[in-house]
C-alpha cells in the first residue's frame, strides 16, 4: 500500500490528536490474487482474525487502549465492522466503531440490489454455502448467537430460543451510516441491525447506538461535497466524543 494523505482525515481527526492505523489484512488486493483469495468465502473469517490481531498488538504495544481504540469501515468494510462488534474477541478490543453503508444480513444480501454479483466473493446463501456464511453474518451473530432469539431452520420453521454464546458481550459504542438511495448495498442492512441493537439488545448490552441515513448520495453516502463534509464531521465528532479527544 502506498502512503497518501487525506485532508479530511487531517483536519477532522489528526489535528485533534487522533491517530489512524490502516490494517493490511488478508482479502484485499495489495499483494496480488493469492492475498485476495486467502479470505474468500469459507475463509472470510481470516480477515476478521487479522483485524483482531492488529488491534491486540496496538493494545499490547501500549500505543492505545481498548477505551481509545475504534474501527471504521464501509460497504465490505461495513461487513467487517459488523463482525468486529459481534465477534467475542473483537468486540472486547474496541471502544467504538463506525459502520458505513454495510452488508450485515448475509442470508438475504444476494436478493437485494447488487448483492447477487458478489456471490463469487462471499458465497451463495441459497446453497450449502450458508453453513459458513452464517458464521460471519453479523445480524445472525447478534440476534441468534448473542441474544438467543429463535432462528428459522432449513424448513423455514422458527426454532426455539437458545442460550447466549457470549453472556459477557457488550457492543462497542457504534455509529451506523447509510443512504436511502444506495443502489448497491440496501439500507435495510443497517436499519435492521440498528433496530435489533436498540430494541432487542437494549441499553445494557448496546449502551450507545447512533444511526444516520442520508436521503441522497448513493453508495458513497453523500451527493456532494457539502453532504460529504457533514457525514465525516458526524463521524469524527462521534469518535472524538466517545474516545475522549478534544471536540
How many CB atoms are closer than 10 A to CB 94? 23
**Which residue of the set 36, 75, 92, 230 is catalytic?**
75
Helix (H, G, I), strand (E, B) or coil at 99: strand
Residue 34: CA count within 13 A, CB half-sphere: 1
**Grid cell digits, residue 208:** 450507545
Q: What angle do CA 195, 156, 77 make, to 5 degrees?
A: 45
Q: Which residues pair with 74 in a beta bridge?
A: 100
Give the relative orientation of helices 188-195 and 76-84 as an angle to the nearest 10 degrees. 10
The question of whether 219 is a catalytic residue gets the answer: yes
Which regions of the chain does DSSP assign to beta strands (E)? 70-74, 96-100, 173-179, 209-214
Contacts of 35 (CB under 8 A, 6+ apart): 26, 27, 28, 29
CB 22 within 8 A of CB 1: yes
**Grid cell digits, residue 224:** 456532494
**Which residue of the set 36, 210, 219, 230 is catalytic?**
219
How many CB atoms are closer than 10 A to CB 56? 15
Catalytic residues: 75, 219
Amino acid at each position: 500500500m502506498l502512503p497518501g494523505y487525506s485532508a479530511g482525515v487531517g483536519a477532522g481527526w489528526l489535528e485533534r490528536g487522533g491517530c489512524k492505523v490502516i490494517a493490511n489484512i488478508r482479502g484485499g488486493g495489495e499483494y496480488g490474487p493469492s492475498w485476495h483469495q486467502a479470505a474468500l468465502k469459507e475463509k472470510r473469517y481470516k480477515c476478521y482474525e487479522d483485524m483482531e490481531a492488529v488491534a491486540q498488538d496496538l493494545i499490547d504495544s501500549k500505543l492505545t487502549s481498548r477505551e481509545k481504540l475504534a474501527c471504521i469501515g464501509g460497504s465490505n468494510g461495513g461487513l467487517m465492522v459488523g463482525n468486529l462488534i459481534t465477534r467475542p474477541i473483537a468486540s472486547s478490543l474496541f471502544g467504538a466503531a463506525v459502520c458505513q453503508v454495510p452488508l450485515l444480513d448475509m442470508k438475504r444480501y444476494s436478493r437485494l440490489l447488487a448483492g447477487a454479483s458478489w456471490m463469487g466473493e462471499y458465497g451463495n446463501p441459497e446453497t450449502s454455502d450458508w453453513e459458513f456464511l452464517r458464521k460471519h453474518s453479523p445480524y445472525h451473530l447478534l440476534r441468534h448467537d448473542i441474544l438467543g432469539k429463535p432462528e428459522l431452520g432449513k424448513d423455514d420453521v422458527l426454532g426455539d430460543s437458545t442460550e447466549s454464546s457470549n453472556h459477557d458481550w457488550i457492543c462497542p459504542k457504534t455509529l451506523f451510516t447509510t443512504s436511502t438511495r444506495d443502489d448497491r448495498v440496501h439500507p435495510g442492512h443497517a436499519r435492521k441491525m440498528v433496530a435489533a441493537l436498540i430494541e432487542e439488545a437494549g441499553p445494557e448490552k448496546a449502551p450507545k447506538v447512533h444511526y444516520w441515513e442520508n436521503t441522497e448520495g448513493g453508495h458513497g453516502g453523500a451527493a456532494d461535497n457539502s453532504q460529504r463534509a457533514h457525514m465525516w464531521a458526524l463521524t469524527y465528532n462521534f469518535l472524538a466524543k466517545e474516545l475522549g479527544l478534544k471536540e
